[in-house]
Amino acid sequence: MFALDTSVTAAFPEVEPIRAAAKAGDWPAARAHLAALEPGVRDLAIHDIGDLDGSEVWLRGVVDADPTDTLAGTVLGMRLINQGWDIRSGARAEHVSRQQFELFFEHLQRAEQALIEVTAREPTLLYAWRCRVVTARGLQLGQAEARRRYDQVARTDPHYFLAQTQLLQQLCPKWSGSFEAMHAFANERAAAAPEGAHNAVLVAEAHIEHWLELPSPEDGKYLEDRAVREAIQQAADRSVLHLAFRRTAGWVFAVSTFAMALSLIGDAHRAARCFMTLGRLGTEHPWYYLGDAAEQFAKHRAWALQEASRS
C-alpha cells in the first residue's frame, strides 16, 4: 500500500541532525549544523524546527541570553507563527472563534516582535522576511504592507521562492486580494525565473486557488477552460518537467503542487511524470484542499500512473 512521506528529512537527510539537536534543546549543536547547510535547505530546516512542540521555551531562553543571535530569533519567530496558525486552524474566518483569534493574534504579535529585531540587525536575512510576509497576512496589515515586506526580499533575491508562495496567498481573494493581482504576480515571477526553476509553480497554485473560490458548477468549467489548462501545462514544462530542473530546496512542494494541478485538469501523462519524480515524497499543501492529503495524493497518483501506462 502506498504511504506518503511529507517529512523534510526524507528529501533532505542532512536536516536530521538538526531535528535531533532541536528535540534535545541543544541550540549550539543545532546552530552549527544549520550554519553548514546550503541556504535554501537551511530555511527548510528552520521551518522544521518550528514544528517541534515545546521548542519555543528553550528558544526564548536562547534569544533572551543573546539578542544578537538572529538565527535563533528567526527560528523562534517561525515557531510562534506555527503555534498561532495551529490555534487558528485553516478554516475560513467565519468558522474561527473569538478566543481562537485572540490567541492567534497574540502568538503572531510575539513572532512579529522577534522578527522585527532580527531584520533590524540583519536586513538581508531572507527567511526572516518571508516569515514577516506571513505575519502581515495573519495580523491583517493589508496588501501594501505585505508587498513592502516581500519587496525587501526581492531586493536581495528576486527569485526567492519561499517568500513568493507566501505573498501569493496574501494576493488571494480570501485574504482581501483579487484574482487579477494573484495571477499577475504568479505569471510575472514565473516568466522572470530561469527555466527549470521552481517559481513557475506559482501559476499552478494561483489556478488552484481560483478554482477553490468558485461555486459549483463554475469550478468544473474553470478547469476545463483551454487557457487554464495550457497555462498550467506550460508552467510545468518550463519548471519541474524541464531538463534544467534540479532537486533543490522547495522542489518537493513544486512537483507535488504540479501533480495536483495536472491531475485536476486531467493531464495524466504530465501528472504521472510528477508522481514518478516524487516517489513516496509529497506535501500536504495543497492536497488537503481535496480532503485527507495522503488519501487524495494516493488516489490521484494511482489514476495518473494507470492512465499514462495505457498509451
Instruction: Round to whole Å and give the CA distance between 275 and 259.
Output: 6
Using DSSP's 3-state secondary structure scheme, residue 88 falls into helix
Residue 272's closest CA among 311, 231, 226, 229?
311
Give 24-58 pLDDT, tens digit per residue.
Answer: 999 999 999 999 999 999 999 999 998 899 999 99
Q: Which three cell numbers stand for residue 104?
A: 492567534
- Share in percent of the chain as helix, strand, coil (round to 5): 75, 0, 25
Instruction: Round to whole Å and give the CA distance between 80 and 87.
Output: 11
Spell out the domain ranges in the chain.
11-157, 164-311
Q: Which three cell numbers stand for residue 210?
A: 481560483
Helix axes 268-278, 226-238, angle to 10 degrees: 30
Give 291-311 pLDDT, tens digit per residue.
Answer: 999 999 999 999 999 999 986
Pick the CATH number of 11-157 from 1.25.40, 1.10.490, 1.10.1760, 3.30.70: 1.25.40
Instruction: Identify residue 66 by its one-letter amino acid code.
Output: D
Q: What is the share, in percent, of the chain residues with pLDDT greater than 90? A: 89
Give 161-206 pLDDT, tens digit per residue.
Answer: 999 999 999 999 999 999 999 999 999 999 999 999 999 999 999 9
Helix axes 251-264, 293-309, angle to 10 degrees: 70
Q: Are 186 and 200 in contact (CB under 8 A)?
A: no
Question: For residue 91, what pLDDT is reported?
Answer: 65
Question: For residue 160, what pLDDT is reported?
Answer: 97
Instruction: Round to whole Å and give the CA distance between 242 and 235.
Output: 10
Cell 505585505 sits on residue: 146
Give 17-29 pLDDT, tens digit per residue.
Answer: 999 999 999 999 9
Q: What's the sign of the alpha-carbon dihedral 100, 103, 106, 107?
A: negative
- pLDDT over threshold 90, residue 71: yes
Q: 5: which strand partners?
A: 281
